[in-house]
Structure 1
Amino acid sequence: MTAPHAHGQGPAAHPGAHPAGHPTEHSAEHPAGRAGGMGGQPRTLPDGTPTCKLIAWEVTRSCNLACKHCRAEAHPEPYEGELDTAEAKALIDTFPAVGKPIIIFTGGDPMMRPDVYDLVAHAHGKGLPCAFSPNGTLITAELAERIRDAGVDRVSISIDGADAASHDAFRGVPGAFEASMRGIGYLKQAGVPFQINTTVTRNNLQSFKDIFRLCERLGATAWHIFLLVPMGRAAGLADQVITAQEYEDVLHWFYDFRKTTSMHLKATCAPHYYRIMRQRAHEEGLAVTPETFGMDAMTRGCLGGTGFCFISHVGQVQPCGYLELNCGNVRQTPFPEIWRNSTYFRQFRDQTCYEGKCGICEFHKVCGGCRARAWSMNGNHMGPEPLCTYEPGRRSR
């Protein structure tokens, strides 16, 4: 991409990952979005702690694929030390103490864990919105019905290429694309809403319009793009990380493209999108409200530690799956206590703790920069977002 403000043009017009999918956090039209989204509960708990709105829970790290960008470097074999069924259900029982968070059952591939349907049903029985984030290759007609009957509100499937060759090369297993397509077909037969997640890399940047068209043809409820965080296997993908200016271009294009579709579009691990959204809305004379921008108007970019957290397969709580800061382990400390008192979480909730331009940026409250990228690329989780071109004070709100 070349034009930094090429309104109406997509990546394909120019020559030359993730633990979870945040499947329902910002969807105003989706049942889980109404029940447990940003606008559906108080901003804070009675003690002033931010409400926990979203939990990505790695119920297993096992996975049958070998994706190039996998933060967990997952393999198919079982992992030692995973929370057992009793521990997992006890953990679920603690979630309502911090709000009514959407629970994303992720991995690895959550379908590699035999009791996952029981865990989803347990969470659903507690009134918690449930999302499911498999890779799609293991879904059969019978399992799609089990996913539905357990109480899953939406499934997210990652598709990183518009065809089998490009997707399979990224996912590391021949036939992955066709298997995921079959899985999506079974979800549709069972009446389970699904979204598509796509990780932005240099290889697929120019085919984004084709991927978008594929999402529309499949009937996806949403398309979420993920800005690559170079950790895990992705640490070896330095040549696939696009530049800060290219990210800026992608997010401007994304802002324009959302106007052309009824499909919900969201940029994840791209907190600067919320700056761009407000800049562009200001240029267009639009107020940023739920009426004009849906739930995007009521959230911020990086929610790590402020409205979102990640729980690993062994119970370690982290700001997100890409940022392996140990905030406590649910086997030693009750989850609500970790949510309220983690030193790292408290840092992320205090703007004075942010360093560099993120600490003084007028868009901090709606952006915050990606803490995981600051850590993985510069070794400082409170440092500035490495892939942001904006200089604070350059433009007014």
Structure 2
Amino acid sequence: MAVQYQFSAIYFEATRVCNLRCPVCMTASNNPQVVRQSRRQELTYEEIRDRVLVPAKRLAVRAVGWSGGEFLLRKDAFDLLRLTVDLGYKCNVCSNCELLDRDMLLAMKEATRGDLTIAVGLNSIGEDNEWSRNAEAQRTLEVLELCRELRIDRHVIITLGRYNADSFERTVDYLVKRRISYNRSPLVARGSGCAYFKDQGFTREDLKERFHPVLRRHVNGYVSYTPFFLSPELHEQVSGGRKNGTVPQNPPIGCWVGNWLALNAEGDVSVCPVLLDELTTGNVREKPLDELVYESKIFADLTDRSRLKGRCGRCRYQYTCGGCRAMAYYHTGDYLAEDPTCFFDPVDETTVSEYEEETNRLFKKYLIVARHAGFYERPDKPAGRPEDKPAPRRSSPAHGSGKTAPSADGSGNGAGRPARTGGNGARDPGSPNARVAAAEQDPPPANRSV
């Protein structure tokens, strides 16, 4: 095969069956008709093993995240957990918390030999959580505390929309204070979210004024958001030039499309969990996972960020950010279009964001955390890029910050954009947030810093 892809993780919605009825559920698990139809087509244990998990080894996948619906409602859930670790994957389970008590958590920890992360959805620590989730925030917080007592890694997924713009900062501050890692996911027009996307999906102004300032503040929410204003020279230097196509790895940053794989209960494959059902590359019943990926035009397009259009295609952060591909698709129907929720308006690739220095500074701190958590490897030496063209001269743009692009050491002697065609990707350990917050509070010794 001409291209050797390497992906960090699989996100697997293994069932649509659920014991909650969340109004904006992107898997439509609150729709009995959808669930009934799905149950007749749900992948079996053997199909998951032979068509997904074994072929995923050939894609260098290191972690599997089980989700739903409610994954634990599958009768073979524990068999799948044991299979996950038997095949050498890290194991993450996304649950709505309704079934998680001490006995259940201990049984899951035993089945995964202690290599377990519990991920939960929590859109707000206040009453507005119940607008989007059919669950009380307090129940979720109790499960997070129980995980801490049992020494099980924990993680929170916050789905962003206008409904939680006012409470987002308070929610993140609560999580950071308790050393709980988190990431953001956008409300999208998938499943039951279709009815709410137009009115409740966040706008460019919401992102700039309400969400992005909070996301920039803490390194434990630092692995999966856009826009991400990281100097391409800095990532090239610290990563050793490791990429999946042109998508940065070691560590992954910005939009995670190109760094993970997503499957739904029926076996359809997509480039991102929030694009499942809407943008698929085929079904694993037709071909094994690795063959679907290698033959997919969608994966070929989205692992080559030189194909991005509009503002994303002329942006200095085209590679280290990439723009949210889901927002591009749901707003325009084109997964390569510019991200319409991004508030950065570059004139061309020389335009530097006013937030680049701040992003670079926190990214260096994040690398310490990432090494401690086990998903960043410091290269012996940066990978060479002989295919690069001479760097364009950096000039102060007519619009934007007025800065010239710095080099990786911040000297201002910019080394140019990253190559539009990258080498083989790194084998990243997968879903990286599990130990990030604890490491941020208790970082490794100073001599391990980057």
Q: TM-score range by the shorter chain?
A: 0.7 to 0.9
Match among 73, 76, 80 for residue 112 of structure 1: 73
Query: Where does residue 223 of structure 1 map in the other structure?
Result: 182
> TM-score normalized by structure 1?
0.76
Deviation, 1:117, is 1.7
Q: Paired residues, what number?
A: 332
Q: Secondary structure at the match of 1:206?
A: coil
Greater C-alpha radius of gyration:
2
Matched, 1:168 2:130: yes
- For 1:265, the aligned partner's letter is G
Q: Which runs of structure 2 are paired with 1:300-315 in the superposition (5 Å)?
A: 300-304=253-257, 306-315=258-267
Q: Contact between 2:223 and 2:252, CA under 8 Å: does it hold in 1?
A: no
The change in CA–CA distance for 1:313 and 1:190 in structure 2 (over 3 A counts) is same
Alignment gaps of 5+ in structure 1: 1-45
What is the CA RMSD across the aligned residues, in angstroms?
A: 2.8
Q: Counterpart of 1:390 in structure 2: which amino acid?
A: F
What is the match of residue 18 of structure 1?
Answer: none
Tell me, in whole angstroms, the C-alpha distance in 2 between the residues paired with 1:216 and 1:189.
17
- Offset at 1:334? 1.1
1:341-368 per-residue CA deviation (whole Å, 9 max, x = no partner) reads 2111011122343222222222111122
Q: Structure 1 297/334 Cα, relative in aligned 2: closer, same or farther at 3 Å?
A: closer
TM-score (norm 2): 0.67
Moved more, 208-217 or 372-381: 208-217
Q: 1:312 to 1:386 in 2, by over 3 A?
A: same
Distance 1:95 1:242 in 2: 34
2:171 match:
211
Aligned counterpart in structure 1 of residue 191 of structure 2, from 232, 239, 243? 232
Alignment partner of 1:344: what SS? helix
Please name the residue that 1:299 is paired with: 252
Residues 1:125 and 2:93 aligned together = no
The alignment status of 1:92 with 2:45, answered yes or no, reads: no
- 1:1-397 aligned at under 5 Å gives the runs 47-75=2-30, 79-90=39-50, 91-151=52-112, 152-163=115-126, 165-173=127-135, 176-216=136-176, 219-237=178-196, 238-250=198-210, 252-254=212-214, 256-258=216-218, 264-266=220-222, 268=224, 270-272=225-227, 274-275=228-229, 277-278=230-231, 289=238, 298-304=251-257, 306-323=258-275, 324-392=278-346, 393=348, 394-395=351-352, 396-397=404-405
* Sequence identity percentage: 21
Change (3 A) 1:329 1:255: closer
Residues 326, 197 of structure 1: CA spacing in aligned structure 2 closer, same or farther, 3 A cutoff? closer
Residue pair 1:271, 1:300 contacting (<8 A) in 2 also: no
| CA deviation profile, 1:183-204 (whole Å, cap 9, x unmatched) | 3343234321101221222222
Unmatched runs of 5 consecutive residues or more in structure 2: 240-247, 353-403, 406-450
User: What's the counterpart of residue 366 of structure 2?
Assistant: none
Provide the C-alpha distance between the structure 2 equivalents of 1:162 and 1:171, rounded to a whole number of angstroms. 12
How far the C-alpha of 1:87 sits from its partner, in A, is: 1.3
Could you tell me which amino acid in structure 2 is paired with residue 300 of structure 1?
A: I
Distance 1:216 1:357, change over 3 A: closer
Alignment CA distance shift 1:307-1:213 (3 Å): closer
Distance 1:142 1:124 in 2: 20
Query: 4+ residue runs of structure 1 moved beyond 6 angstroms?
Result: none
> Which residue identity is paired with 1:229?
V
